[in-house]
Amino acid sequence: MASLLSDDTKTEFKAPEIKQVSNVSVPAYSDIAKSANDLLNKDFYHTAAANLEVKSKAPNGVSFTVKGKSAHEGPLSGSLEAKKTDKANGIQSLGVSFYHPLSDRRKHYLYYQLSYAPRARRRSRRKPKAPRETTSPASADTSDRVQTSTSTHSSKDAVSVPQRHVLEYTSERIPTYMLIQYRSAGITGTASWSTSNAIDAKLELDGTLAKDLKTEFTGTFKPDTQDTSSKANLTFQQPTFYGRLFADLLKGPVVTGDIVTGQQGFVAGGEVSYSVPEASISKYSASVGYIAPQYSTALTASNNFQLFSASFFQKVSNEVQAGAKASYDAQKGQTVGLELAGKYQIDPLAFVKGKVNDKGQASVSYNTKVREGFTLGLGASFDTQKLNEATHKVGAQFTFES
């Protein structure tokens, strides 16, 4: 049968292209549900009556942060923090040159081993003529010895040196160059002192021991009670792997480690703590999730698989964000807890947030950048089931930065 379609009207069928989700960097174990947790817990200012934060930076690069807090009940608290960061610059090269102290009035043979041959006689004060080489017939067939003479001394005073060791025959200083390569690691030092008379110090080394390996050392000291604590942390990060190790050196010691691996947005990880004195596992948990640029979800089993939580976050548009979290405590056997939260970006300098839980507690907050270097935050919390009681809370936060 003849084809009803001509060659010009025939078209090839093309399958629709399937767009793959771009790879997202694997987060730390505690950040698998970070987007939902930040939306539910961050930038709500009702937890304290007033918060004050002042940030400044000195010309030498040291950053200072002063924090003050006035709680609804209890005394005032504050802290002073200083931080200095030296950013990593990759592989650096350092060239060093030095001279061998050869005398200007004596001529020497310089060996590859940097040892000297017997010196020749003192040369005349007159300007020497151009050197010329003389080779005796007896040494014409010898390939490993050479004789060199100048007009300042006779041929009988010439020195015979094995040719394989001779580098140069000169009366000037010989420069030697040395190239040193080293890795410029990022170093960050932080020290703070709080009103509770606690002195904290932290040292961070980024890429010092190995590439993509971050090392942290933290310590706390209380002079009034002589209490001390010291911890060492290791963090190793790759595009599809994130591992951390925490060691409490003075208490226990207790070692806690967590790992996360993922591919194409899917992530899975676990955490475990081991007590060295008790020789037993003291805590363990696990989490799985999916992370995409516009939304994310996570399921976590913590507290030795006794507390289960599921969270969801979505960036609806450039101005609107929404999230929810459900939790269930198997040990207490209570009902499932539920939290809902949302955020609206009014303009590039201001936003509002709100959340409510299954117990009827609602919270709202407002944040705006009043001017360059000054940010204001206002928040309030209401118990919708007890509106006629004094259970409501309000708070404010003032942030100054220069």
Higher pLDDT, 63 or 112: 63
41's enclosing H/E stretch is helix 34-41
pLDDT, tens digit, 9 for 90 and up, residues 158-171 = 444 444 444 444 44
* Average pLDDT of span 378-394: 89
Q: What is the pLDDT of residue 226?
A: 87
The reported pTM is 0.69
As a whole number of angstroms, the distance between CA 191 and CA 214 comes to: 19
Higher pLDDT, 150 or 276: 276
Q: Long-range pairs for 273-278 at CB < 8 Å and ≥24 separation?
A: 276/252, 277/252
Q: What is the pLDDT of residue 112?
A: 34
As given in the structure block, the two tokens for residue 15 are 């399958």
pLDDT, tens digit, 9 for 90 and up, residues 200-219 = 999 999 887 788 899 999 99
As a whole number of angstroms, the distance between CA 247 and CA 268 comes to: 23
Q: What is the pLDDT of residue 120?
A: 43
- Does 182 score more than 70 pLDDT? no
- Does 90 score more than 50 pLDDT? yes
Q: What is the pLDDT of residue 118?
A: 42
DSSP-assigned states of every residue in 18-51:
PPPPPP-----GGGTTHHHHHHHHTT--TTSSEE
Q: What is the pLDDT of residue 38?
A: 95
- Does 4 score more than 50 pLDDT? no
DSSP-assigned states of every residue in 382-395:
EETT-TTSS--EEE
Share of the chain above pLDDT 70, in %: 70
Strands 50-57 and 63-70: antiparallel
Q: Residue 100: what residue type?
A: H
* Average pLDDT of span 373-388: 92
Contacts of 3 (CB under 8 A, 6+ apart): none
From 308, 306, 316, 312, select the one nearest 287 (Cα to Cα).
Answer: 308
* Average pLDDT of span 52-80: 93
Q: How long, in residues, is the chain?
A: 402
pLDDT, tens digit, 9 for 90 and up, residues 189-202 = 999 999 999 999 99
Q: What is the phi/psi pair of residue 40, to 5°?
A: -85, -25
Q: What is the pLDDT of residue 347?
A: 94
* Average pLDDT of span 56-71: 93
* Average pLDDT of span 235-259: 92
Higher pLDDT, 278 or 290: 290
As a whole number of angstroms, the distance between CA 270 and CA 222 comes to: 34
- Does 175 score more than 70 pLDDT? no
Total Cβ atoms within 10 A of residue 159: 17
Q: What is the pLDDT of residue 91?
A: 58
Contacts of 185 (CB under 8 A, 6+ apart): 88, 205, 206, 207, 208
From 273, 263, 271, select the one nearest 287 (Cα to Cα).
Answer: 271
